[in-house]
Amino acid sequence: MTTGNTITNTTAHEANTVTAGPGGSVNGEAIVPGDKSLSHRSVMFASLAQGRSNISGFLAGEDSLNTVAAFRAMGVSIERPDNTRLTIDGVGMHGLRAPSAPLYMGNAGTGMRLISGVLAGQSFATEVTGDESLSKRPMGRIIDPLRQMGASVSSQQNGCPPLSIEPATALTGIDYPLPMASAQVKSCVLLAGMYASGTTSVTEPAPTRDHTERMLRTFGYPVETNGAHVSMQGQGNLNACDLEIPADISSAAFLIVAACIAPDSSIVLKNVGINPTRTGVIEILQLMGGNIELHNRRDAGAEPVADIHVRTSHLKGIAIPEALVPLAIDELPVIFIAAAVADGTTTVTGAEELRVKESDRIAAMAEGLMALGVDAVATPDGMVINGGSIGGGVVDTFFDHRIAMSFCVASLRSTAPVQIRDTHHVETSFPGFFELCASLGMVINRPPASA
């Protein structure tokens, strides 16, 4: 790793502070960790399937490991032959056992919302908890449809975790129009629908990632998709299978933007998932002038993958089409970094969902960009960024992994070092991120391991 001034004090902020830049480039080949969304789902579906499933490419990050721990606590045998492989002996749809303690989902909104759909159909009571950040995220959006199906679910008075889920007498399928574009809510309803009588259907206001529908089919559970309408019959079964999880495009996005904005850069990212409901980041950057090519397209299980080649690009500001926003919702923080160095103005609208992620990502990114001298104005549903130069300074991450990684990428074009506070949550989705960035040519200084 690149060496330099290190931070030796041991206060909470300083021990988790990374100083990045200024300058650097990004060159070489890289494999980013497995897809986090798919890792969560693979554990859930394999646990509920009949027989043994072998999972490869699993993300060994804190979020998905908490999902593993939750299903182990409910009696599922899950072994890890190595860091990225799982062997799961499924217990069937009705084989889970009551855990002896609350299920802790850490920082994972995906984990909590999806597992709640599974737990809604069980014959035992459970409590689902999370860390301080997750405990502030809205769960009313899943509680409402689950209650309509007959589930007994309660939360704190503000609609946030922990969640208490009592045994359901019987669940009944519903036809649920999603009030917001959310793959997590859609998936929660579909997972509960497996335990419901009759038909469960969801209608989306805008396309969202379809990993749940694809993976259900892979595990042998029929799902019908007709435009924005997804439906399934309840009380079916899942069958074990072997599943390959591709690299996470949300993690790859940081290196894609890095190679676009850094001088003299050329990087190939191998085996990245390019599910069409997730490629908004590539489409947006290409509209901005990003030099991005997809090679070696193929399928990994039910998911399309490719190798992504990115070179230094001359980016221009654009009005990001609202239709692409749901397809890049998790990648928008690092897209804001691209906008900060692009020529002209970039506007983002229709992204109010960013305000209820691990942090209020609109507010967090606007504050960090302004701290670095960028002309950025937060709006209720997005941001207006006038591209130019990025200075140095100190930015807070609000304990959000994507905020931390985004400002690390910003340091490639900063005129002075960028100090990024509270970076430990990066491990939830991208273990080894800073080490990989340094190996590719970025300027990264971290405190000693003993700090």
| Beta-carbon count within 10 A of 89 CB | 16
Measured over all CA atoms, what is the biggest interatomic distance in the chain, rounded to whole angstroms?
Answer: 63
Q: Distance between CA atoms of 307 and 444, rounded to whole angstroms?
A: 26
Residue ranges of alpha helices (H) inside 21-149 are 36-48, 62-73, 109-119, 140-148
Tokens 């689902």 sit at which residue? 128
Q: Distance between CA atoms of 324 and 350, rounded to whole angstroms?
A: 10
Q: Distance between CA atoms of 71 and 96, rounded to whole angstroms?
A: 8
Counting Cα atoms < 13 Å in the Cβ hemisphere of 372 gives 39
CB 21 within 8 A of CB 411: yes
Angle at 297 between CA 226 and CA 316, to 5 degrees: 85
Rounded to the nearest angstrom, the gap between the alpha carbon of residue 358 and the centroid of all alpha carbons in its chain is 10
Q: Is 330 a catalytic residue?
A: yes
Which CA distances in Å does 364 have to 32, 158, 280, 375, 396? Answer: 25, 22, 21, 14, 8
Q: What are phi and psi of 260, to 5 degrees?
A: -65, -40
Under 8 Å CB-to-CB from 34, ≥6 apart: which residues? 57, 58, 59, 84, 245, 246, 247, 248
**Which entry of 330, 396, 400, 422 is annotated as an active-site residue?**
330
Residues serving a catalytic function are 330
